[in-house]
Amino acid sequence: MKMGTDWVKAATRAGLALALLAVCAVLPPAIHQALHYCPLRPDGVGPAYALPAFSRKYKLSCAQCHSGFPVLNAYGRQFKMNGYVREAGSSDGVLKSQDRELATETIFPWALIVRSRPIDNGKGTISNQGAQMGGTASPNSNGFKTEPLNDVDFFVAGGDAARHISFFGEIDANANSATTFQPSLGDLRLGYHPSAFWNVVAARRGFFADDPYQTIVSNETPTIANRATDLALADQHSISGNALLATQQAMYAYGLVNLSGDSFLYYAAGATKDSDQGNQYTSPTNGNARLAFDNGKGLMVGAFGTFGHERADTDGSGGNLGVDNGAGVTQSFQRGGFDALYEIGDWAARAAFAYTHDRDSFLNVNDTDRAAYAELAYYYKRGHMYPFLVPLVRENWYTTFNGTSQFNYVTAQLAHYFAPNLKAFVEYSVDTKRDFQNGALVPPTPGVLAMRGNRITTQIEVGF
């Protein structure tokens, strides 16, 4: 009876979410027309929604680089790999001194993104509906919240400050109470780009978070909910605590190898620090590699991997297994997998699979698990270069405790672009299966599969 009640409640919530999505789909065209032009430029040139500084600099629409913010298209990926310039080594966007010895940006490359969350309603009894669904990793329900100002991000980025040098910096301010914003230093990136074949990057950013194809982890995905392949989120119970999506000190090289026709190979390899902030000043502990085949016509298939060790909890509060492993003890890990991207017309499909293995040699404990997601989006442009509506659906799947517990959750989103720099969306995420077998998590009624969380959110984003 309880199982049936859970499904009825979930269906009701899903129906309400679909009703909201339908309302968003039929918003009056007059609103769209009234906000068609970017307020920053009376000539109607829209800004690059991810970083409007690039649009102001090159006088380009956001559609030049983005299928829909923050998703890059083929041109945008090449722009990023070039070091945030349209053509490596060109004078486009460059301001030079009279003696021609000093090169800098034609404008100060700043950008600002502001996010509002009028409705945020999450329910769940354990922490999965927190981290996986983009909320707080609390064992209790998030409940209903309204955040008129949820997040403010300030960026500077460019590729013409000096010959073959690119830079990126972010200050991120998030609402931590009704009246207080807590600013913090976000991603940092410094690149050297002598040729297309090899480039060098030093960053305070995860290796896989910086990948131009945006398929492996949740960084630069348009949804609030995370992808299962981020790993080490709530309920995934990694022994080492290593996550593919993590902010780390990183040093790596990448480049392109041209093949026949328009096809090429993209490679990246480098080292990263321990993801524990207390160990960021030690020597690199992790190796990372990435290889992708791109046919130049919308298809990419790739592979990725990382290995190394993370330092165990030494403060007496207990590690991921609930025990203190002692000072100096490390836990080894291996991560590997495959990913794919297929873009045809206004359709885009992404998927990734990750295999994980962790070992604590001190406790003689091993854990092997898997995670995957599949995602489909459609960019309905309605006669414009930028999308008018973007429906997106994603299925996430992962296992824990050596594969003895299986989890699934689905995310659906409908986004509407009022203008290239103004976007609103409704997003719904829900658990669809929690298979408790021999894991440590125990359901309320043994043997009963019950959905444990759902979340519906509306968000508005504007870029300047």
What is the DSSP secondary-structure string of 92-129? TTEEE-TTS--EEESS--EEEEEEEEEEEEEEESSTHH
Q: How many CB atoms lie within 10 A of CB 240?
A: 27
What is the CA angle 134-437-396, rounded to 5? 30
R_g (Cα) of the chain, nearest Å: 23
Any alpha helices (H) in 59-150, and if so which ranges? 74-81, 128-131
Specify whether the backbone of 76 is left (phi greater than 0), alpha (psi in -120 to 50) or beta.
alpha
Give CA–CA dist 321/239, Å, rounded.
7
Distance of CA 313 to the CA centre of its chain: 27
Give CA–CA dist 263/256, Å, rounded.
10
Q: What pLDDT was estimated at residue 44? A: 28
- H or E element: which one contains 199? strand 199-204
Single out the residue of 112, 154, 111, 115 nearest to residue 134, CA to CA.
115
Residues 113/118/123/129 CA torsion (nearest 10 deg) = 0
Q: Write down all domains in the chain, each with its CATH number in brackets.
A: 2-463 (2.40.160.10)
Enter the pTM of the model: 0.82
**Token pair belonging to 192:** 């050297």
Residue with tokens 């002692």: 326
What does the buried/exposed string (b/e) look like for 183-192 if buried means 16 or more CB atoms within 10 Å of the residue's CB?
Answer: eeebbebebb
* Residue-level pLDDT, tens digit, the chain, 464 residues: 444 455 445 555 545 544 544 444 444 333 333 443 333 222 222 223 346 677 777 777 777 888 888 899 999 899 899 988 887 766 677 777 777 777 777 777 888 899 999 998 887 644 444 567 776 544 345 577 888 888 899 988 888 766 788 899 999 888 765 567 788 888 899 999 999 999 999 999 889 999 999 999 998 889 999 999 998 776 677 888 888 988 788 999 999 999 998 999 999 999 988 665 555 456 667 999 999 999 999 999 999 999 998 765 544 444 444 444 444 557 889 999 999 999 999 999 999 999 999 998 878 889 999 999 999 999 998 877 788 999 999 999 998 888 877 888 899 999 999 988 889 999 999 887 766 554 444 444 544 445 567 889 999 999 88
Total count of residues recorded for the chain? 464
Give CA–CA dist 432/452, Å, rounded.
8
Residue 297 CA: distances (Å) to CA of 36, 75, 345: 30, 12, 10
